Amino acid sequence: MSATNKLNVIVLAAGQGTRMKSSLPKVLHPLGGRPLLAHVIKAAHELHAEKLVVVYGHGGEQVCERINDPAIVWVEQAEQLGTGHAVNQAMPEVDDDSISLVLYGDVPLINHQTISDLLSRARNDKLALLTVYLDDPSGYGRIVRDVQGHVACIVEEKDANEEQRRIGEANTGILAVRGSLLRQWLNQLENDNAQGEYYLTDIIAMAVADGVDIKTCQPGSEEEVLGVNSRSQLAQLERYYQYQQAEALMAQGVSIIDPARIDVRGEVTVGQDISIDVNVILEGKVVIADGVRIGANCIIKDSQIEAGVEILPMCVIEQARVGAGSRLGPYSRLRPGAELAGANHIGNFVEIKNSHIGQGSKVNHLSYVGDTDMGAGVNIGAGTITANYDGANKHRTVIEDNASTGSNSVLVAPTKVGKGATLGAGTVLRKEAPAGELTLSVIKQKTIAGWKRPLKKSNQ
């Protein structure tokens, strides 16, 4: 954008959202795992705006802390006196020679291409207005046009007559115009309407009176410009957003068994020939390489899944790396810091935390491995745990290549299992197990003659 057409973006985010029935500010309610406002801020940044001004009100401290973007100029709207009043609060930060774009913090799915089309119509001192045709425009201001089809004004529904309410073209509130013109019109606003508020929409009639051309364009879909005023509306937009995410993944070579039953709540990078079953949630930054298969009801967050991995149903993976050719689950959990080198088998009801699992090592059944450095080719027997916490501090366990633990072993850290060592079933290891040797810590089996099992006391 040229120096004379630099962009200033104003985002209105002061609404209380009483219909949400929540102490959380409306613009902080999540869609796709991010606050509504964060989606709008992302769209603004993609435009490379010279200034980004966010007008906040209800729950202002929470909003500023949660978004925490140093590029934002925060402006408070202490009194909720309408959209025109809200935009006017931002004007001291807006340049007269800028194109000023007005967006809304509760309209999260506005598309970059739609905004670009709108801005292209605002050049040469024109006012660009985004409108949308709706089958049911109830609640929206109507676009009133003259006999030549030019925009004459916008009438809010509460102020509209019956003929005007039948108009299907609705105002989205999103517009762009030169900063000096916007400032001039805002200063002329009055609040003599049914709501007693200063309507931003009233500047349209002022523009017409001043001979300013008004250019309109429409979004690619109506969901782009739908606002969130209730939890029902939020849920509807969530489903639309998730459908978009599923479509994008499938376009990149991912097979999704049911696009209506996947949630993407972050940024996902994918390879080809990936299969994802139903009810999978992908959160944060997730990287999934070629040929990965993900079973039903899995949650993967901030993790890297390398090529050829098979994740069986009901697995939870967080801040972990799964090496190529590994198999997990069902019911496996990888906690933060878990790193599988590759070709690993992590099975039923196994939990791994802050541990490196070497190439080809297996932890197949009912085990906990925490704070452990495990070599290659290790086999961990069912029910084995590393007792890494002494009640005050965490300690590490070292298990060297090709070691094997019998079922129900307890490795009390800090300790070490040497290369090729074997632990007998039920071993409680408190000292190092020498390389290549069998280590046992079991008592001799004995039978106590005449012992009687306790009986339940009868009710008196």
Are 236 and 189 found together in one domain?
Answer: no
Cα angle 66-338-333, degrees, rounded to a multiple of 5: 85
Choose the final residue of a domain: 201, 225, 249. 225
Residue 458 lies in a domain: no
Reported pTM: 0.89
Are 27 and 113 found together in one domain?
Answer: yes
Are 67 and 172 found together in one domain?
Answer: yes
Neighbours of 193 (CB within 10 A): 16
List 254's β-bridge partners, or say none: 274
CA-based diameter of the chain, in Å?
107
Pairwise pLDDT comparison (446 vs 413), residue with the higher score? 413
Q: Is 232 helix (H, G, I), strand (E, B) or coil?
A: helix
Number of domains in the chain: 2
What separation in angstroms does the CA of 253 have from each of 94, 268, 275, 277, 279? 44, 13, 9, 14, 19
Are 107 and 191 found together in one domain?
Answer: yes
Respond yes or no: is residue 365 known to be catalytic.
yes
Considering the candidates 45, 356, 365, 395, report the single residue annotated as catalytic.
365
Are 210 and 256 found together in one domain?
Answer: no
Are 103 and 178 found together in one domain?
Answer: yes
Residue 331 lies in a domain: yes
- The parent domain of residue 377 ranges over 231-439
Read off the tokens for 281.
């949630």
Read off the tokens for 109.
């799915």
Residue 446 lies in a domain: no
> Rounded to an integer, what distance in angstroms lies between the CA atom of residue 281 and that of residue 266?
10
What separation in angstroms does the CA of 385 have from each of 218, 333, 363, 378, 404? 61, 14, 10, 14, 13
Read off the tokens for 373.
């450095």
State the pLDDT at residue 5. Answer: 67
pLDDT band at 194 (very low <50, low <70, confident <90, very high): confident
> Rounded to an integer, what distance in angstroms lies between the CA atom of residue 105 and that of residue 11?
6
> Rounded to an integer, what distance in angstroms lies between the CA atom of residue 305 and that of residue 410?
30
Tell me which residue of 7, 174, 11 sits closest to 99, measured CA to CA. Answer: 7
pLDDT for residue 78 is more than 90: no
Tell me the CATH number at 161: 3.90.550.10
Look up residue 291 and give its amino acid.
G
pLDDT band at 192 (very low <50, low <70, confident <90, very high): confident
**Helix spans in 32-82 (H):** 36-46, 60-67
Residue 70 lies in a domain: yes
| 84-112 tens-digit pLDDT | 999 999 999 999 999 999 999 999 999 99
Residue 449 lies in a domain: no
Pairwise pLDDT comparison (193 vs 317), residue with the higher score? 317
| 340-398 tens-digit pLDDT | 999 999 999 999 999 999 999 999 999 999 999 999 999 999 999 999 998 899 999 99
State the pLDDT at residue 1. Answer: 41
Share of the chain above pLDDT 90, in %: 87
pLDDT band at 460 (very low <50, low <70, confident <90, very high): low
Q: Which of 157-171, 177-191, 381-395, 445-459 is the least confident region? A: 445-459
Are 116 and 196 found together in one domain?
Answer: yes
Are 214 and 278 found together in one domain?
Answer: no
Pairwise pLDDT comparison (394 vs 59), residue with the higher score? 394
Residue 151 lies in a domain: yes
> Rounded to an integer, what distance in angstroms lies between the CA atom of residue 416 and that of residue 437?
13
Are 150 and 259 found together in one domain?
Answer: no
pLDDT band at 79 (very low <50, low <70, confident <90, very high): confident
State the pLDDT at residue 442. Answer: 74
Tell me which residue of 402, 7, 19 sits closest to 228, measured CA to CA. Answer: 19
Are 212 and 252 found together in one domain?
Answer: no
Helix, strand, coil percent content, the chain, rounded in steps of 5: 20, 30, 45
Are 111 and 194 found together in one domain?
Answer: yes
Tell me the CATH number at 369: 2.160.10.10
Residue 12 lies in a domain: yes
Pairwise pLDDT comparison (128 vs 458), residue with the higher score? 128
CA 54 to chain centre: 21
> Rounded to an integer, what distance in angstroms lies between the CA atom of residue 351 and that of residue 380?
12
Are 304 and 350 found together in one domain?
Answer: yes
Residue 376 lies in a domain: yes
pLDDT for residue 2 is more than 50: no
Cα angle 223-229-232, degrees, rounded to a multiple of 5: 75
Q: Are 98 and 10 in contact (CB under 8 A)?
A: no
What is the rounded average pLDDT of the residues 221-242? 95
